[in-house]
Amino acid sequence: MALWGGRFSEGTAETVFALSRSVHFDWRLAPYDLRSSLAHLLTLETSGLIEKSDAAAIRGALKELSVQVQSGAFVASDGDEDVHSALERGLNEKLGVLGGALRAGRSRNDQVTTDLRLFTIDHILEIARQITLLQIAILEKAGEYVNDSAPGFTHIQHAQPVSFGHELAKHAQAFARDLDRINDWLARTSVSSLGAGALAGSSLPLDPEATANELGFNSVFANSIDAVSDRDYVAEALFILSLIGLHLSRIGEEWSLWASTEFAWAKVSDAYSTGSSIMPQKKNPDMAELARGKSGRLIGNLVSVL
């Protein structure tokens, strides 16, 4: 199912549909698309563009569809072009032609960037929560060793004596900067694009501020063309994630070194270690090594988007 039509007298070639089909990528936006649809429905209703009885029916169908998406009872089909067309199909299956009323005043352009902003904010805030928990754990452990001396290293050579707690706490400081970057990023990203239309807004009496408030955004777009074309927030998010990955990589590198027989500074739990297929005495800090390696993928994703 495609959401576009109009002047076309021929159907889409199968090869064109296969090349442009994106639902296998953007299906993860489904919960956010349903949220933005509920917010758009509210402004259509309050503006008098949809009868209250029709709005109630659409709202009920959207909420039912949301439950089905979450449970896996509703999924995209082979004929769906993208997440938007898949969910509209689901809505039409429940409501018939009434499901199409939700298209009024909305383009896939302002729809998809709104969904993507919601998705990115949701996931970055969850990462911020986990980083905060990691910070707390690091600082608690640093407090246990604040009075214990250890050699400080440069070039992996003894340099100056330091507190081992001080050595550990440096990682918490790096994560504090990551959290600052996330807060700074959020101020630019928490901007609603709904109401921008394809690029020049809509002639319908919509209320972009109402939809922004409904979705929890801090502000509304200032320029409709920029609103639908901006993906700065994605690149910035990937940059922040790349730095977080590098900071985790530093911890992984240290733990791999400290857990070695030569250092013997740290002991990694068996639950977070692996062994050898031929050397039974081995205990490998694979999780620390994987943390180092996976940071490269984050950098690759950033470069790919840029």
- Catalytic-labelled residue, pool 71, 155, 203, 277: 155
Which candidate, 251, 211, 184, places its Cα nearest to that of 118?
Answer: 211
Q: Dig out the tokens for 182 from the structure.
A: 């996330």
Q: Quick one: DSSP state of residue 13?
A: P
Cβ(194)–Cβ(114) under 8 Å?
yes
Q: Dig out the tokens for 64 from the structure.
A: 């039912």
Letter for the amino acid at 52? Answer: K
C-alpha dihedral sign at 180, 183, 185, 188: negative
Letter for the amino acid at 16? Answer: V
Strands (E), the chain: 149-154, 157-163, 191-192, 219-220
Cβ(62)–Cβ(74) under 8 Å?
no
Is 249 an annotated catalytic residue? no
**Upper half-sphere CA count for residue 162 (Cβ side, 13 Å):** 15
Q: Dig out the tokens for 13 from the structure.
A: 């070639």
Cβ(199)–Cβ(193) under 8 Å?
no
**Alpha helices, H only, 72-199:** 83-95, 108-144, 164-189
Is 163 an annotated catalytic residue? no
Burial (CB count <10 Å: 0-12, 13-18, 19+), residue 32: buried
Distance CA 224, CA 227 (A): 5
* Catalytic positions: 155, 276
